[in-house]
A and B are shown apart, each in its own frame.
Chain A
C-alpha cells in the first residue's frame, strides 16, 4: 500500500502506525522540488565553489579551536586528581571533554589528538574501575600532540598502540584478579 504525503496530513503518526498493519509505504516528495516549485529542473548537484567556501569556514574556525582545545586538555589533568567525594562528577566531566575532542579535533586537522581522545573514550565506556595512570597517559599524549607544531604521525601511531596495549593489559589484570 502506498500513498502520498498530502493524503492524510493530520493523522496522528502513532495511530497511523498501529492502524495500518502490516506495513504502509508512503512516498515523500523531494524537498528540492517542493522548495523550488516551477524553478526545479533537475536534482541539485555539488558545487565545488560552495564546497570550497565551506572548507574555508572550517579553516577559519580551526585557528580559534586550537586555543579552545589547549584549554580543554589543560583542564583534564586536575580532574584525575580530584578527591573521591567528587570522583563521579570528575569522571563525567573528563568523559564529556574527551568526547568533545573525539568529535571535533579531526575536522580541524588534529586527527592525532582526536585518535587519542577516541582511545580514552573507548576505555572509559568499557570500564567501571578506571586506572588513573592510563587516563594520565592519554591526556599527556593529547597535550603533546596539540602543542607539537609538526607531530610525527608514526610516533603518534606507536603511542596509540602502546596505550591500547596498556588497556589490554588492564583488562587481563581485571580478569585475573577481579
Chain B
C-alpha cells in the first residue's frame, strides 16, 4: 500500500546543487515515487510546475535568480486553488530562526534542515499526503494554517517559529 500511493505521485525537486538533485531524486526513486521532475532554480521550477502540475514540491531556499521563497509565494497565488495549495517542503541548510520565519511567511507547508536523512524525507512526505493542512487566505497571506493545533478558549497559543510550521 505504501508503495502504491507513491507510484501515483509527481514530485518536483528544486535545488541549484546538481548533487543534491541527484541525492533527492535517488531517495524519492527508492521510495517509489512515480514521476520525479527536477529544476535548478525557481524560474525553471515555475515553468515545470505549470507544465507538470506536481502533487508535492521539494525546494531549496537560496537559489539564483529566483529563490525558494519567491517560488513559494508565486505558487500560492497561482490562478487555480488546486495548484495553489500544493504542499511545499523547503529543504535548506539555512536553519536560522529568521530563515524559517521567512519560509513560513512565504507559505511553505513544512521545512527540512540539510543535511537530510532518508527518514526525514519519508516522514515529511507521509505527513503532507496523509494530513493536509487547512489553508488560510487573507489580504497578505495565502498558505497553510500556521497553527498546528487550536488552543482551548482562554488558553494562550503556544506559537513559535518552528512549532507552527
- Chain A positions near chain B (C-beta within 8 angstroms): 2, 5, 8-14, 16-18, 20-32, 35-36, 39, 41, 43-47, 50-51, 53-58, 60-61, 65, 68, 99-100, 102-107, 111, 114, 118, 121
User: Mind listing 22 A-B residue pairs with CB under 8 Å?
Assistant: A9-B81, A9-B82, A12-B77, A13-B81, A17-B140, A18-B139, A21-B138, A30-B129, A31-B5, A31-B132, A32-B130, A36-B4, A39-B4, A44-B2, A46-B2, A47-B2, A54-B30, A99-B93, A100-B20, A102-B114, A107-B23, A114-B115
Query: Across the interface, which residues of B come within 8 angstroms of A36, CB to CB?
Result: 4-5, 8
Q: How far is A31 from B145 in the complex, measured between Cα atoms in Å?
A: 17
Interface pair B2/A35, CB less than 8 Å apart: no
In angstroms, Cα B145 to Cα A22, docked, is 14
> Interface on chain B toward A: helix, strand, loop, or mixed SS?
mixed
Q: 9 nearest interchain CB pairs? A: A106-B115, A54-B118, A103-B114, A28-B132, A13-B77, A43-B130, A31-B129, A26-B135, A103-B93
Which chain A positions have C-beta within 8 A of B81? 5, 8-9, 11, 13, 16, 26
Chain A residues lying within 8 Å of B23, measured Cβ to Cβ, are 58, 61, 104, 107
Contact present for A50 and B137 (CB under 8 Å): no
CB distance from A80 to the nearest CB of B (A): 21
Instruction: Report whether B137 and A16 are in contact in the complex, using a CB–CB cutoff of 8 Å.
Output: yes
Q: Known contacts A20-B137, A51-B118; is A13 also within 8 Å of B129 by CB? A: no
User: Are B142 and A13 neighbours in the complex by a CB distance under 8 Å?
Assistant: yes
Name the B residues within 8 Å of A50 (CB-CB): 2-3, 30-32, 122
What is the count of residue pairs linking A and B with beta-carbon distances less than 8 angstroms?
178
Of B30, B116, B132, B140, which one neighbours A56 at CB under 8 angstroms? B30
A57→B130 CA distance, assembly (Å):
25
Q: Max chain A CB contacts within 10 Å: which of B56, B87, B131, B141?
A: B131
Q: In this assembly, does B117 line the interface, its C-beta being within 8 Å of a C-beta of chain A?
A: yes
